[in-house]
Each structure stands twice: as structure tokens, then as C-alpha cells.
């Protein structure tokens, strides 16, 4: 029997990383918000690798933080190791990566949610989405509770008709053997939404005390006081090491001898898996020429015996998994806590979404995270934040927040989803961002804090910290540009000689001198030329000076890009009237409904000729 259980502005279905960000954003923006989750114990769960950050992903975390999200603060508090990746490369691809205590991460996020005003959590299974006049009106749970609402954000992860597969065994289930969500998929189909089927996997977990670390290479964290959030204090934390080992030819032979029992190759698994995170058996088969693959043994927390095996995602039968593990140096006496498994699940092809992450078919219905065909905690959380923001803005009758590709990695992520032809789980890569030198992890606050303040997510303290940093940065740039030296200056000559740097030929400013690769900003503080100790500001000064020429080139590219983005396509355009369009372009434009010429040009399979035809048509309409 259905009964009225309450009324809310926004309902978030799911308590994973996307759901947490969506619910917090909605509530913090003043909306009465309800989170419906299958399990309180699995809120902000890390069913795969307990890590946050890395290339492209660190940029997402920093951008969420600048907008007022929670992930960065939470991982700073629960990290057991932090280090900077790609230190030998340029700033566009450098990234922080943190190993998190998965239990502490869950506990801290749950506490944050429970203490958030205007947010309520209910443990239930959402089965039906009610609509009225083409817009969402309520959610009905398995127990008959009817919660009325004005907007819904679905962040169901891999739970929609989830199916666990281990060898010859397959059964309904969500990550970590949780209950799946069975009926919500059917409700989405009844609303006219198309669903597909994807697959992902996870490796076995093992006992720490069964590992022989003497046969492995230690992977320590950095001694630097790193952080993701601009609001977190810089602290020196106790670093818990990860460990590197390698598979052997014997490992690969075990896999090859058991392919007849591997569901990846027997047809039991039908969902499409992520190309950038393949199963171990897939790697062995497709890279048969390789004698070994890297395997990282990573702790799942400070006070747990459980270790994660990075690089060994598998759905092989349990007895084969044991043999595979024991053939790896350091794991000869290994004991398994949890068996690796594959999971198939329903997803919503994201071409059905607007750039706000609202579905085109149903007003007020947003989706975020792995339901949109992505992989990764950070990608999910970023979508959740934007979906939660836009659900709240819709309630408040305001325009949605849509980040451009030139403004944020979040913009790249969402634009790729809604314009691309997603036929495998999507993973954000640094190379996907055309303007990555502008979208670095170090300047996310300078790019996005003002946007977060405008929508009401950036509080007074974060706003004060941002403005203080911006003022000091502008002051120091002015100091470095005004302070000049001539070839006759003895102190400068001695300094250049100590750095094996060429003598001056003309008057030069400290800003221009900083472009030399052998000159570092810390040299200026040591010489007394710059009175600044803040690490963030010093980093900004050095990057902006050394890459000034490249940054200006990318800024010019952005100006050209934004001209195309500024050419809007009317929402009521009839593509059947556009004479000269290819059949493929006509079909895809009808399906995706691009909002600008720039977005139309990025739709997969669209040719420059199609764009020219569309431009001519729009210009004729404008003149009429």
C-alpha cells in the first residue's frame, strides 16, 4: 500500500560519491533535500581502489573544492598517503594522488551528511519515478513510501540490475555483495529513456600478514604537506607505503590454461568493460608478448589488515584466483579476504542528457555518476555536484551552471558525455582537455571560486581565503615586474653565476628572469627579493612566469573556441528543414540537440561540411 511519506524540493537516489555531492550541494543551496540509499553502511563507499586523484582526476577534485564540494576536504582528513604524480613533466599533467582510509572516508562523509541542515537520509529502495505533465513529481519506494518532489537526481552507480560474476557463478547483487536495484531500470524505460549494459570489475583483497614485502619495491608517499582542498591546513601526515611487484610467466600460464572458465571469454559476461582498466585476464590475452605486468599492493586503511591488489581486476573462478596470486613474488603464501569479481549493470547513454545533466525526456530528472556511463569516483562526484547544483537552480527558477571545456575539466567531462558516442565506460584523461595548460590542478580556485560564490555554495570563510590569495598574488606579480636589474648589478651577477645562468645583456625584471629554467621562485625568497612564504602563491608565480607565452597562446585559442560556443542553436530548430545535411548529422542532431555550433562540431561523426551547412541555414534564418 502506498502512503504519503513527505515532501521535498530535491530527492537524490543513491549514496555513493555522486549522491553525496549532489545531496550536499542541493541542501547547502537552500533546498529541502532527501537522500534515498540502499545502505547507510555503504555511503561514500570505495568498492574499488581506495584512492582519490591522479592525472585529470586531481583536477576534478580541486575544481569541486573550488565550487564548494566536499570530496577534497574529506580525503584530506582520511588520507594515509599522498604524493605528486608526473613530477618530471609540465604543470598541466602534474597531479596529487591520495591513498585513503576507506572506512574513515565513509565515516567522515556520513557524519557530514547527517549534520547538514535541510538534508535527510532514508534507507530504502527507490522503485518508481512518478511524473505529472512530463515532469517528476514523486518517488515511490519498495515499502510503499511516496515522497513528493520537484527534482530528482539519480546516482545509482552500478546497482541498476547489478549482476555479480565469479567464474561460472553469476547472481544478482551490487558492489561488495550488496542488494541491487532491480525495478528502477524498468521505471526509467517506461519514462522513455534508453538503457544499455556495461561491466566493471574489482580485484581480490588479501591479508597484510600473508604478504612478503621483502620481495617487493616500496612505494612511499611524499614528505611534503600536500592537500587537495584550499581550505585544509597543510599537515605532515604519517605515510603508509604501497608496494610494487610483478606477475610472472607462470602467472600468465595459469590464466591461459583456464580461459575456458573465464567469463570474459565464455560469453557469460555480455556487458562492455572499460578499455583503460581492463581485467587481468584480458591483459594477459591481448598483451601475450609481455612476460610481466605491474601489481601494486595498497593498504585499505590505517587499522585494517585488508590490502587492495591494484592491476588484478578479475572475474576468474575463485580457485584460479588463488593460484594466480600465489604465483606472484611476495604473495606465495597469500590469504584472500574477498574474492575479485565482475559486475554488470544498466546505464543510461548520456546523449539523452542536456549539458546541465537533466534528461531531455523528463523535466526535473537529473542523472550523475556511473549511471551515465563513466568510471571513477572523481568523475562520479563531479557529475553529482553539477547535477545537485542544477537541480537546486531549477527549483529556484535560475539558469543552470554549465562549465565550458575552456573553464574546467568538469566541463570537458560533461561535454564529452552529452556529445560523444559512449560505447564503453568513460574515463577522463588529461589528453581529452584541449586547454589543459589553463586547467591545471594548482589554479582551480582562481578559475571557479567566483562561480561557486555566485550560486551560493562558497561560504564566507572560503570567499575570504580566496580573495586574500588573489590580492597577494596580484601584488607579488606587480613586485616582480617592477623590480629590475642591469648587467652592472653585482648582486645579480653573483646570483646568476651561482646558478650557472647566462649574464644579463640588458635591463631585465625578476618576472622575466624567472622564465629561465634554472631560476626558481624559491631563489627569490632566499635572496630577499620577494617576501612571500605561502606555497600556493609561490607555485602560481613560478608557473605563470615560466609558461606565460604558452598560456597566452591557449587563451587566444579559447577566444576562438568561445566564438563558436556563442553561436547558439534555437531549441525549436527543425533539422529536416536544413537542406544539405548528411543523414547521419540530421539523425545525431535530432538525438543530441546541441545547444551551440561549438557543441554541434564535437558530436561524434559530424563533418566540417555539416557544420558549414548548419551555419548557412542559421544565418539565413537570422536575416529573415
Contact between residue 389 and residue 455 where contact means Cβ atoms under 8 Å apart? yes
Checking if the pLDDT of 275 tops 80, the result is no
Handedness of CA 46, 456, 126, 185 (dihedral sign): negative
Q: pTM above the 0.75 mark? A: yes
Number of domains the chain contains: 3
- Residue 593: the pLDDT is 86
Evaluate whether residue 367 is within a structural domain. no
Evaluate whether residue 491 is within a structural domain. yes
**pLDDT mean over 532-541:** 91
- 430 backbone φψ class: left, alpha, beta (φ>0; ψ -120 to 50): alpha
C-alpha cell at 40: 547507510
User: What residues contact residue 62 under an 8 Å CB cut-off, 6+ apart?
Assistant: 72, 228, 230, 441, 442, 444, 445
**pLDDT mean over 373-395:** 97
Q: How sure is the predictor about 65, in pLDDT bands with cuts at 50, 70 and 90?
A: very high
Contact between residue 441 and residue 94 where contact means Cβ atoms under 8 Å apart? yes
Mark which of 528, 551, 574 sits at the end of a domain: 551
Checking if the pLDDT of 380 tops 80, the result is yes
d(C-alpha 439, C-alpha 547), whole Å: 13
C-alpha cell at 243: 608496494
Evaluate whether residue 135 is within a structural domain. no
Checking if the pLDDT of 209 tops 90, the result is yes
Count of residues making up the chain: 624
In the chain, the largest separation of any two C-alpha atoms, in whole Å, equals 90
Checking if the pLDDT of 272 tops 90, the result is no
User: What residues contact residue 341 under an 8 Å CB cut-off, 6+ apart?
Assistant: 164, 165, 166, 201, 202, 315
Pair (588, 515) in one structural domain: no
- Residue 409: the pLDDT is 97
* E strand residue ranges, 158-300: 163-166, 169-172, 196-202, 205-207, 217-219, 242-246, 294-299
Checking if the pLDDT of 386 tops 90, the result is yes
Pair (219, 333) in one structural domain: yes
d(C-alpha 580, C-alpha 593), whole Å: 18
CATH number of the domain residue 617 falls in: 1.10.150.570
d(C-alpha 105, C-alpha 71), whole Å: 9
C-alpha cell at 546: 615560466
Mark which of 551, 581, 603 sits at the end of a domain: 551
Evaluate whether residue 217 is within a structural domain. yes
Reported as a single tens digit per residue, the pLDDT across 288-332 is 899 999 999 999 999 999 999 999 999 999 999 999 999 999 999
d(C-alpha 231, C-alpha 532), whole Å: 19
Pair (493, 597) in one structural domain: no
Backbone φ and ψ for 314, nearest 5 degrees, come out as -155, 150
3-state helix/strand/coil string of 327-391: CCCCCCCCCEEECCEEEEEEECCHHHECCCCEECCCECEEECCHHHCECCHHHHHHHHHHHHHHH
Evaluate whether residue 265 is within a structural domain. yes
Candidates 164, 143, 141; CA nearest to 152 is 141
- 56 backbone φψ class: left, alpha, beta (φ>0; ψ -120 to 50): left
> With b meaning 16 or more CB within 10 Å and e meaning fewer, what string describes 574-599?
ebeebeebeeebeebbeebbbbbbbb
List the single range of 179-183, 356-360, 390-394, 615-619 with lowest mean pLDDT.
615-619
d(C-alpha 399, C-alpha 277), whole Å: 37
Candidates 50, 47, 334; CA nearest to 206 is 334
Element holding 329 (H helix, E strand): none
- Residue 502: the pLDDT is 93
Evaluate whether residue 525 is within a structural domain. yes
**pLDDT mean over 454-465:** 96
Pair (580, 534) in one structural domain: no
C-alpha cell at 544: 605563470
Evaluate whether residue 328 is within a structural domain. yes
Reported as a single tens digit per residue, the pLDDT across 334-347 is 999 999 999 999 99
Q: How far is CA 602 from CA 78, 194, 562, in A?
A: 39, 22, 14
Pair (277, 319) in one structural domain: yes
Evaluate whether residue 296 is within a structural domain. yes
- Residue 513: the pLDDT is 95
Helices 102-114 and 71-78 pack at an angle, to 10 degrees, of 130
> Could you tell me the residue range of the domain that residue 616 belongs to?
566-623
Pair (230, 302) in one structural domain: yes
Pair (583, 545) in one structural domain: no
Pair (255, 322) in one structural domain: yes
To the nearest whole number, what is the mean pLDDT of the chain? Answer: 94
List the single range of 206-210, 237-241, 389-393, 459-463 with lowest mean pLDDT.
237-241
Pair (535, 571) in one structural domain: no
Mark which of 503, 528, 551 sits at the end of a domain: 551
Residue 346's DSSP bridge partners are 197
- The H helix count followed by the E strand count for the chain is 21, 24
3-state helix/strand/coil string of 438-452: CCCHHHHHHHHHHHH
User: What residues contact residue 611 under an 8 Å CB cut-off, 6+ apart?
Assistant: 597, 600, 601
Pair (489, 545) in one structural domain: yes
User: What residues contact residue 433 under an 8 Å CB cut-off, 6+ apart?
Assistant: 56, 405, 409, 412, 439
- Residue 335: the pLDDT is 96
Helices 535-546 and 460-482 pack at an angle, to 10 degrees, of 50
d(C-alpha 175, C-alpha 159), whole Å: 7
Q: What is the DSSP string of 58-120?
A: HHHHHHHHHHT-SHHHHHHHHEEEEEEE-TTS-TTT-EEEEEE-HHHHHHHHHHHHHTSTTEE
Q: Dihedral through CA 325, CA 328, CA 333, CA 334, nearest 10?
A: -40
CATH number of the domain residue 542 falls in: 1.10.10.1800
Checking if the pLDDT of 196 tops 80, the result is yes
Q: How sure is the predictor about 253, in pLDDT bands with cuts at 50, 70 and 90?
A: very high
C-alpha cell at 405: 571545456
C-alpha cell at 129: 519515478
CATH number of the domain residue 220 falls in: 2.40.30.260
Checking if the pLDDT of 276 tops 90, the result is no
Pair (597, 491) in one structural domain: no
**pLDDT mean over 3-31:** 97
Candidates 470, 546, 539, 483; CA nearest to 510 is 483
Checking if the pLDDT of 43 tops 90, the result is yes
Checking if the pLDDT of 88 tops 90, the result is no
Q: How sure is the predictor about 412, in pLDDT bands with cuts at 50, 70 and 90?
A: very high
- Residue 123: the pLDDT is 97
**pLDDT mean over 268-274:** 81
Pair (582, 525) in one structural domain: no
- Residue 621: the pLDDT is 81
Q: How sure is the predictor about 66, in pLDDT bands with cuts at 50, 70 and 90?
A: very high
Amino acid at each position: 500500500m502506498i502512503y504519503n511519506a513527505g515532501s521535498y524540493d530535491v530527492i537524490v537516489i543513491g549514496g555513493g560519491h555522486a549522491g553525496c555531492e549532489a545531496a550536499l550541494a542541493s541542501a547547502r543551496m537552500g533546498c529541502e533535500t532527501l537522500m534515498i540509499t540502499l545502505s547507510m553502511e555503504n555511503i561514500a563507499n570505495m568498492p574499488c581502489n581506495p584512492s582519490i586523484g591522479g592525472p585529470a582526476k586531481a583536477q576534478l577534485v580541486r575544481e569541486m573544492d573550488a565550487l564548494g564540494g566536499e570530496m577534497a576536504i574529506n580525503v584530506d582528513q582520511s588520507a594515509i598517503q599522498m604524493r605528486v604524480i608526473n613530477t618530471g613533466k609540465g604543470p598541466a599533467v602534474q597531479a596529487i594522488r591520495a591513498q585513503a582510509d576507506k572506512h574513515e572516508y565513509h565515516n567522515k562523509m556520513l557524519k557530514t551528511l547527517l549534520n547538514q541542515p535541510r538534508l535527510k537520509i532514508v534507507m530504502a529502495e527507490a522503485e518508481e519515478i512518478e511524473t505529472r505533465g512530463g515532469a517528476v513529481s514523486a518517488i515511490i519506494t519498495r515499502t510503499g513510501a511516496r515522497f513528493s518532489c520537484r527534482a530528482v537526481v539519480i546516482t545509482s552507480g552500478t546497482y541498476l540490475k547489478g549482476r555479480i560474476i565469479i567464474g561460472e557463478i553469476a547472481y544478482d547483487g551490487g558492489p561488495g555483495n550488496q542488494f541491487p536495484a532491480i525495478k528502477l531500470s524498468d521505471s526509467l524505460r517506461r519514462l522513455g529513456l534508453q538503457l544499455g549494459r556495461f561491466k566493471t570489475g574489482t580485484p581480490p583483497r588479501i591479508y597484510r600478514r600473508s604478504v612478503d614485502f621483502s620481495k617487493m619495491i616500496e612505494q612511499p608517499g611524499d614528505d611534503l604537506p600536500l592537500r587537495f582542498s584550499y581550505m585544509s591546513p597543510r599537515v605532515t601526515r604519517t605515510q603508509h607505503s604501497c608496494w610494487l611487484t610483478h606477475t610472472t610467466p607462470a602467472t600468465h600460464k595459469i590464466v591461459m590454461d583456464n580461459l575456458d572458465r573465464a567469463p570474459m571469454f565464455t560469453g557469460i559476461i555480455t556487458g562492455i568493460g572499460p578499455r583503460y582498466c581492463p581485467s587481468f585476464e584480458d591483459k594477459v590475452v591481448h598483451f601475450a608478448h609481455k612476460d610481466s605486468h605491474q601489481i601494486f599492493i595498497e593498504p585499505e586503511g590505517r587499522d585494517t589488515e585488508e590490502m587492495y591488489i591494484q592491476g588484478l581486476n578479475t572475474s576468474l573462478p575463485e580457485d584460479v584466483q588463488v593460484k594466480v596470486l600465489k604465483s606472484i613474488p611476495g604473495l606465495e603464501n597469500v590469504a584472500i579476504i574477498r574474492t575479485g569479481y565482475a559486475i554488470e549493470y544498466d546505464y543510461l547513454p548520456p546523449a539523452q542528457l542536456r549539458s546541465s545533466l537533466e534528461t531531455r525526456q523528463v523535466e526535473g530528472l537529473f542523472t550523475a555518476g556511473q549511471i551515465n556511463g563513466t568510471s571513477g569516483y572523481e568523475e562520479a562526484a563531479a557529475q553529482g555536484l553539477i547535477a545537485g547544483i542544477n537541480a537546486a537552480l531549477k527549483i529556484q527558477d535560475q539558469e543552470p551552471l554549465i562549465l565550458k571545456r575552456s573553464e574546467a575539466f568538469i566541463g570537458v567531462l560533461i561535454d564529452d558525455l552529452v556529445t560523444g558516442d559512449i560505447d564503453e565506460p568513460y574515463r577522463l584523461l588529461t589528453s581529452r582537455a584541449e586547454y589543459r595548460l589553463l586547467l591545471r590542478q594548482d589554479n582551480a580556485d582562481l578559475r571557479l571560486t567566483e562561480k561557486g560564490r555566485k550560486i551560493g555554495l562558497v561560504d564566507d570563510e572560503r570567499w575570504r581565503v580566496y580573495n586574500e590569495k588573489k590580492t597577494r598574488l596580484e601584488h607579488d606579480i606587480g613586485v616582480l615586474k617592477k623590480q629590475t636589474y642591469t648587467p652592472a648589478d653585482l648582486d645579480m651577477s653573483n646570483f646568476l653565476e651561482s646558478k650557472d645562468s647566462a649574464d644579463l645583456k640588458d635591463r631585465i625584471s625578476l618576472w622575466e628572469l624567472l622564465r629561465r629554467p634554472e631560476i626558481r621562485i624559491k631563489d627569490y625568497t632566499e635572496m630577499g627579493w620577494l617576501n612571500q612564504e605561502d606555497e600556493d602563491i609561490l607555485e602560481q608565480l613560478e608557473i605563470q612566469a615560466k609558461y606565460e607565452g604558452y598560456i597566452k597562446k591557449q587563451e587566444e585559442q579559447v577566444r576562438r573556441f568561445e566564438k563558436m560556443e556563442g553561436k547558439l542553436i534555437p531549441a525549436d530548430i527543425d533539422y529536416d528543414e536544413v537542406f544539405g545535411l548528411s543523414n547521419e548529422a540530421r539523425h545525431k542532431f535530432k538525438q543530441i540537440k546541441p545547444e551551440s555550433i561549438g557543441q554541434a562540431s564535437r558530436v561524434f561523426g559530424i563533418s566540417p561540411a555539416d557544420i558549414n551547412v548548419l551555419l548557412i541555414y542559421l544565418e539565413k534564418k537570422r536575416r529573415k
